[in-house]
Amino acid sequence: MKNPLISIGESIHASIPRVAAVMRQLDDLGDSAYTQPSEALHQVQALVESQADDGADYIAVNVDAFGEDDPAKALRMMQQYVQLVRQWGKGLPVCIDSSNDDTLIAGLKTWYDTGQPVRPPLINSIKTYTLHTILPLKKDYDFSVIALLVGEGAPTGPGRSYSVDQLMGLAHTIFDAAVGQRDFQPEQIFFDSTVFPLAIDMPMEPNVPGYTYRAFETIRRIRAAPKFKGVHCSLGISNSVRDLPGRKIGVCRAYVAKALEYGLDAGIVNVSHHYGREAPAPELMELVDAYAQMDGSPERMNRAIELMGRFCQQTRKGG
């Protein structure tokens, strides 16, 4: 069965404590750390290969946690991990993931620094205010981009967040710059309308839609716009279950299933769970659907609160 989701493997991420520990142990081995056999290097190899075996379409690398005090260290580590994905990723392209443009650029150049053919990578991410830095690289390198629908100024929509109309405006700005000016193909654009944790997706003002509603509705609107034909919609799925007391894999499975109904076709995920292939539990689908429909009306907000309260009570009791 073909997975309806373009799966971007998330496991090589320095914000995951056990992964960060291995990354730190490896880097501490010195200049030959990434070429000489060691237990830490073997564990990194297993992380890369297992994601390829589990059906990833891209293997993401994020080392930003190592750059908080030393940006040059994160840049250097990104170059090393991009090479490891190229070496052990079984032909899969890398997803170069960083909030630092210099790290993104270093990863992109390293990916192509080989005499062997490689598939175009994915850059995560660009925003409206980083377009001028990343998009011009298309002249020399072929790549796709995850485009975060985030502007430079503070959001001015309902509840001091972006409205769906504002999110669509950001999508138009990015699309026009990438496709209209820099020769990207529509299928090289992955719009990300941002996942917000369900556990805290509760507007503090009346008549304000929830974040999940806005994220999903933006995907639906993008899919309905002829201009955007061929683009992808992607979300960082694991963020949806932050702070939940349990059943996180099940809720992620339901979140993906519901988002697919709105037009999602890509996601940053733990590929070992095969989201998109297995049916979610009906009660978890009901929970996610309540947040997807939380349009600002009191009735729908109360419904989401009721279901989340029941979920948390039952999950804690079950644990």
Q: Which pair of tokens denotes residue 120?
A: 């175009």
Compute the distance between CA of residue 308 and CA of residue 306 in angstroms, rounded to an integer.
Answer: 6
Q: Is the pLDDT of residue 251 over 80?
A: yes
Helices vs. strands in the chain: H and E counts, helices first: 10, 8
Q: Give pLDDT tens digits for 143-179.
A: 999 999 998 877 777 777 899 999 999 999 999 999 9
Q: What is the pLDDT of residue 152?
A: 84
Q: What is the pLDDT of residue 259?
A: 98
Say if residues 287 and 311 touch (Cβ distance below 8 Å). Answer: yes
Q: Give pLDDT tens digits for 104-124.
A: 999 999 999 999 999 999 999
Q: What is the CATH number of the domain that holds 169?
A: 3.20.20.20
Q: Is the pLDDT of residue 319 over 70?
A: no
Q: Give pLDDT tens digits for 82-104.
A: 999 999 999 999 999 999 999 99
Compute the distance between CA of residue 199 and CA of residue 305 in angstroms, rounded to an integer.
Answer: 10
Q: Give pLDDT tens digits for 1-47.
A: 568 899 999 999 999 999 999 999 999 999 899 999 999 999 999 99
Residue 216 within a domain = yes
Q: Is the pLDDT of residue 256 over 70?
A: yes
Q: What is the pLDDT of residue 318?
A: 64
Residue 213 within a domain = yes
Residue 1 within a domain = no
Q: What is the pLDDT of residue 36?
A: 97
Average model confidence (pLDDT) across the chain: 95
Residues with Cβ < 8 Å from 80, sequence gap 6 or more? Answer: 34
**Ramachandran angles phi, psi of 21, nearest 5°:** -65, -40
Residue 157 within a domain = yes
Residue 282 is inside which H or E element, if any?
helix 282-292
Strands (E), the chain: 6-13, 58-62, 94-97, 122-126, 144-148, 189-192, 232-236, 266-269
Q: What is the pLDDT of residue 272?
A: 96
Which residue range(s) make up the domain with 16?
Answer: 6-318
Q: What is the pLDDT of residue 214?
A: 96
Q: What is the pLDDT of residue 205?
A: 86
Compute the distance between CA of residue 171 and CA of residue 94 in angstroms, rounded to an integer.
Answer: 24
Q: Which pair of tokens denotes residue 133?
A: 């830095």
Burial class (CB in 10 A: 0-12, 13-18, 19+), 220: middle
What pTM was computed for the model? 0.96
Torsion of CA 110, 115, 121, 127, to 10 degrees: 40
Burial class (CB in 10 A: 0-12, 13-18, 19+), 187: exposed
DSSP category for residue 130: T
Q: What is the pLDDT of residue 160?
A: 76
- Kindly list the distances between the CA atom of residue 96 and the CA atoms of 37, 187, 212, in Å, as whole numbers in the listed order: 24, 18, 26
Rounded average pLDDT over 126-140: 96
Residue 75 within a domain = yes
Q: What is the pLDDT of residue 65?
A: 97
Q: What is the pLDDT of residue 115?
A: 95
Q: How many domains does the chain have?
A: 1
Rounded average pLDDT over 259-286: 96
Q: Is the pLDDT of residue 266 over 90?
A: yes
Q: Is the pLDDT of residue 253 over 60?
A: yes
Compute the distance between CA of residue 255 and CA of residue 67 in angstroms, rounded to an integer.
Answer: 31
